Amino acid sequence: MLNRFRLFIVILVIFAFGSSSCKHETIPEKDMVKIFSEIFITDAVVSTSHYSYKFSKRDTIEYYKPIYSKLGYSDKQFALTIDHYLDNPDMLDKLLDKVVNNLAHIEAEHKAALLQDKEVLEDLIPARDPDNLWEAQDNLVYPRDGDKDSLYFKIQIMDDGLYRLTAKVKVMPNDESIEPYASMWFTVDSTGVRHDVQRQGFIKDGNERALSLTLTLSDSTYTHIEGVILGHIEQEGDWKKFAEVSNIRLAYKPILESKINRQRILMEHDTGMLKSGTIDRELPTQ
């Protein structure tokens, strides 16, 4: 990078300015480091574009003029400063070494900023645990946590696959709800349409039983999985639930499909031309 930069500066100076021996105010070194750094970055950008041929002409110095002009320097000051460094090769070498170091510093700051942006984005979008998509309260005791409330949930799906809702449920003999149950289904956001509804009822005997509902999603149209734990048939009057729910989990597991082995082969024709072909071969499911 150093050799390329030096060659670029020398060509720029000789081609655009020529020589001058006048003694006028020159640009301080610290600003020349900034100017040369930005010129190098600008050159790297334009040299990769289809307009690069324009910058081989004599008047292309106008393209770099804004770089030193925004620091308050004129064309003459820049040209005379270049002459000063060309008359002092050792000073030019030291200047260019500082430019290279500055460019390295700029690159390091840019990479650090990108890394920070990535970390912030990851913080804003927390990773989901497929072993347990449940993020709400996972233990409930009635009537402490609600006289008549059912536990409704709506969780965004991950992808096609198996979704299994599990929990431990105990409904007491004195529970006053009608036909307590748990249910789960897929839905499309904002439509209210239920798909593949699964349901499990509970017996009021005070014994702990396992809740287990499993749904299989193979249609990407659906966006959420919804359901209710300790639902009940609507009834009027003053009544209460007496039940316990614990260890609520919603696990996701992708469906293992047949593996497709795609191989690219090159087929040589009689004419010598190569054409890319694709062979799809379905392997047996393991």
Tens digit of each residue's pLDDT, the chain (286 residues):
545 555 555 445 544 444 444 445 889 999 999 988 888 877 765 555 444 444 444 445 566 788 888 888 888 888 888 888 888 888 888 888 888 888 888 888 877 777 776 666 556 555 678 888 998 888 999 999 888 888 999 988 888 889 999 999 999 999 999 999 999 999 987 677 888 899 999 999 999 999 999 999 887 788 899 999 999 998 888 999 999 999 999 999 887 543 333 333 334 433 343 333 333 334 344 4
Beta strands in 117-156 (DSSP E): 140-142, 151-156
C-alpha distances (whole Å) from 192 to each of 181, 185, 186, 228, 266 are 20, 11, 10, 14, 52
> Helix (H, G, I), strand (E, B), or coil: what is residue 227?
strand
Fold of 140-253: Jelly Rolls (2.60.120)
Residue spans per domain, the chain: 2-124, 140-253
Strands 260-268 and 194-201: unpaired
Amino acid at 42: T
* CA-angle at 201, arms to 198 and 203, nearest 5°: 165
Q: Is the CB of residue 132 less than 8 Å from the CB of residue 250? A: yes
Close Cβ partners of 182 (under 8 Å, ≥ 6 residues apart): 165, 167, 169, 199, 200, 202, 211, 213, 227, 228, 229, 230, 231
Residue 199 bridge partners (DSSP): 183
Distance CA 102, CA 50 (A): 28
